[in-house]
Chains A and B, each alone.
Chain A
Amino acid sequence: MIFDLTRFLLDLLAFYAIYSLLTLSLNIEYGYAGIPNFGKAMFFAGGAFAVGAFTTRLTAVILGLSLERFKYRNILIAYQASQIFAQNPFLALSMLFFSIIVGIIFSSILGYLASYPAIKLREDYLGLTLLSAGELLRVIARNYDPLVGGSLGVAVPDFFAPLSGFTKDLTVTGFFLATALLTFIIVDRIVNSPYGRLLKAMRENELAVESYGRNIAKIRMTTLVLGSAVAGLAGVLYASYTRYVYADVFTPFETFVIWAMVIIGGKGNNAGAFIGTLVYVLIERLIMVLKHEVKIPFDVNYLGYVVLSIVLILLLFYRPKGLLPEKPVQTPNIKRIRELKKERNDKTRDGLGFQQ
């Protein structure tokens, strides 16, 4: 039995960080704002494709490596780049941050584009549009070689090459977890602000929000851009972890898994999203490791998918709010609001007095 518990845990936590970013991203869009994004895999792919399309090429250009026959030679280029990265930690780090920025921008643009149908269409039609758009991007990426190498895929240089062995695994996982945690804190601050309340209000009754003078189109757009940016970040981390970008990874099934995690954990509750992710990733990784230990005539993964689907349907029946149900938005203390109001009123009164 080849089973290293520490490495298993580090690998699990790395995937946990990536998936919790995705869950967080869908939770902003669906859990808070009620936008059913059935094309989540597209925005996840956006980040990974940006790394595959730009980072490997840019690295090659910076290092003076030839870009000739890139489709076939990208694995060699990525390997050479990793070797140079190992000697030059600063370059590796700056390329990693370049990738993150490019991935976030690319996915945000996709999110901005997706906001056009999201404003026009009601939920089931929007779901179909985004699902279809995701599949369209996948078909193009698989067949249009200059993007991410077509059906061969693109290799990504190892940004963590300066480190090696256990230190490297620990650093990678630590970096991923820190990124996920930081994103969680930022997102949680945003959705627990008046803006978060606005999102929930829009989810419950668009007409009411509009009658209070809010611009629904703009809120939907900012929500999709924010959600897509987070998904793009997950895509970059995924590409830098697997060091390989391949179009057919980002199927509607991937979208389904992200939805499952949000619904298991509890929509509209970021803590719930983290729990749902943990449940899924734990089961998935355990099956992946243990399936080599048991002898049955079929792939255990499929049994896992059947169980996941049944659990999801049962959850929709008996616990539609998920394991951790939604909580009210944490607005500032009501006393503090009253104080602020009073201060403002006093100021206005003073102002009026001054004018008189």
Chain B
Amino acid sequence: MSSLVVFDALMFSNLLVLLSLSLTLTYMTLKIPNFAHGDYATVGAYIVQTLNVVAGLNYYVSLPLSFVTGGLTALLSYILVFYPLSKRGADITSLMIASFALSTAISSVLCIYADYMTLLTGGFFRTFSFNDFKVDFFGWKTFLLLPFTTGLVATLLLLLYLLLNYTRLGIAMRATVENPDLAETLGIDVNKTRAVAWFLAGGLAGLAGGLLPFRLLTSPALGSFILIRIFAASVLGGLNSLAGAVLGGYIVGFSEILGIYLLSQPPIYLSTAYRPAIPFIMLIVTLLVAPQGISGVLKLKGGSRR
């Protein structure tokens, strides 16, 4: 197997890990499988593309903004839709439908935005992808995305670990996830803590979205295109453990890229167009065989080592 395929799988998995991690974070706080999660990533991708077309900014430079916009979109969806709905006692199916509606609304707004921006700037907005830079990394020529995403995921995981274990906010977050009522009696503002968690999660998704056009052709439908992959990774991880989400992201990402590479080789010669089928099958099999996921099987706990 060529090392290029492995590197490709690593880059893709790094991005998938950011997405599955953030989806798991939102699931842990409200227990809603949020169908709009992929669309936070699309929003991030569109911010980066807009700044590149309008202001000529480098893709990597505008990433902080993709974090902020993704986070704000998630925060708004929490404040305007999920929090009030769950407070009114909506059942989980209604919340899922609401998230489905939210996803449709975001991607439709992005379609309108894309059409309008194309007209205004003449740049590519309906479909686009980013061209990466070749870098010389200690004498080893590679795409910048590979060392960048690997470093980014490592740094973010470390930061998240420190946040959840050594800061008041992080401990409040874990308490809110473990037992919201008890956390409230201890003076933690559960609602605010959840809002922060949603902002963080949306930010991570937006960040991943800002980098996804390097690997995938991006359009307003990017969110629904990657949604089931994100769910496959998160569900494989167990949906209630951040460590599980990271593991799930790498397993699903590597299986998809390496799997379709191997299947497209002799003696099978499967068309690479079947690529999305791999995460779909992984999701279905996980749910049917071990719905508790890796963390449930290994008894991992959310966020902490205990």
Q: Which residues of A contact B (CB under 8 A)?
A: 30, 34, 36, 38, 116-117, 120-121, 123-125, 127-129, 131-133, 135-136, 139-140, 142-143, 251-253, 256, 259-260, 263, 297-299, 302-303, 305-306, 308-310, 312-313, 316-317, 320
* Chain A residues within 8 Å of B104, by CB: 253, 256, 305-306, 308-309
| Minimal Cβ-Cβ distance residue in A for B27 | A124
Residues of chain A lying within 8 A (CB to CB) of residue B228: 131-132, 135
**Chain A residue nearest to B105 in the complex (CB):** A309
A143–B97 touching, CB < 8 Å: no
Do A127 and B108 contact each other (CB < 8 Å), given the known contacts A259-B100, A313-B98?
no
Query: Is there an interface contact between A127 and B81, defined as CB atoms closer than 8 Å?
Result: no
Bound CA–CA A127/B235 (angstroms):
13
Main secondary structure, interface of A, reads: helix
Whether A316 touches B94, Cβ cut-off 8 Å, given contacts A128-B287, A256-B101, is yes
Chain B 55-67: CB-based contact to A (< 8 A → 1; otherwise 0)? 0000000000000
Q: Are B108 and A305 in contact (CB under 8 A)?
A: yes
Tell me which residues across on chain B come within 8 A of A253, comparing CB atoms: 104, 224
Pairwise interchain contact A139-B276, C-beta atoms closer than 8 A:
yes
Which chain B positions have C-beta within 8 A of A30?
93
The distance from the CB of A208 to the nearest CB of chain B, in whole angstroms, is 17
Q: Digitize B97-126: 1 where CB-to-A-CB distance is under 8 Å, 0 elsewhere.
A: 110111011001101100110010000000
- Within the complex, the shortest CB–CB distance from B9 to chain A, in Å, comes to 20
Which of B93, B115, B235, B281 is packed against the most chain A CB atoms within 10 Å? B93
Tell me the B227-268 residues at the A interface (CB within 8 Å).
Answer: 228, 231-232, 235
Report yes or no: B93 in contact with A132, Cβ–Cβ below 8 A. Answer: no
Contact status B288-A139, CB under 8 Å: no
B283 at the interface (CB under 8 A from A): yes
Chain A hits for B88, CB < 8 A = 317, 320
Contact residue among B93, B111, B116 (Cβ-Cβ distance under 8 Å from A36)? B93
A117 in contact with B287 (CB, 8 Å)? yes
Q: Among residues 24 to 80 in chain B, which have CB atoms less than 8 Å away from a CB atom of chain A? A: 31-33
Interface residues on B, range: 35 or more
Is B280 an interface position by the 8 A CB rule? Answer: yes
Some 8 contacts from A to B, beta carbons below 8 A apart, are A125-B235, A128-B287, A132-B228, A132-B231, A136-B284, A299-B111, A303-B108, A309-B101
With A117-B287, A256-B101, A306-B105 known, 7 other A-B pairs at CB within 8 A are A127-B93, A128-B33, A136-B284, A302-B111, A309-B105, A316-B90, A317-B88
In angstroms, Cα B104 to Cα A139, docked, is 21
- C-alpha spacing A139/B270, complex, angstroms: 13
Which residues of chain A are within 8 angstroms of B287 by Cβ–Cβ distance? 117, 121, 125, 128-129
Query: Would B115 and A299 count as touching, CB distance under 8 A?
Result: yes
Also in contact, A309 and B224, with CB within 8 A (given A36-B93, A302-B108)? no
A297 engages B115 (CB within 8 Å):
yes
Taking the nearest CB of chain B, how far is it from the CB of A158, in angstroms?
Answer: 31
Q: Does B4 contact A (CB under 8 A)?
A: no
A292 → chain B closest CB, angstroms: 16
With both beta carbons as reference points, the residue of chain A lying nearest to B270 in the complex is identified as A143
B38–chain A nearest beta-carbon distance, Å:
11
CB atoms of A143 and B271 under 8 A apart: yes
Residue of B nearest to A145 (CB): B271
CA distance A107 to B185 in the complex (A): 52
Choose among B115, B235, B291 the residue with the greatest number of A CB atoms under 10 Å from its CB: B291
Q: Are B273 and A252 in contact (CB under 8 A)?
A: no
Most chain B CB atoms below 10 A, which of A38, A127, A132, A316: A132
Chain B residues whose C-beta falls within 8 Å of the C-beta of A116 in the assembled complex? 288
- Which chain A residues lie closer than 8 Å to B277 at the CB level? 136, 139-140
- For residue B297, CB closer than 8 A to chain A, the reply is no
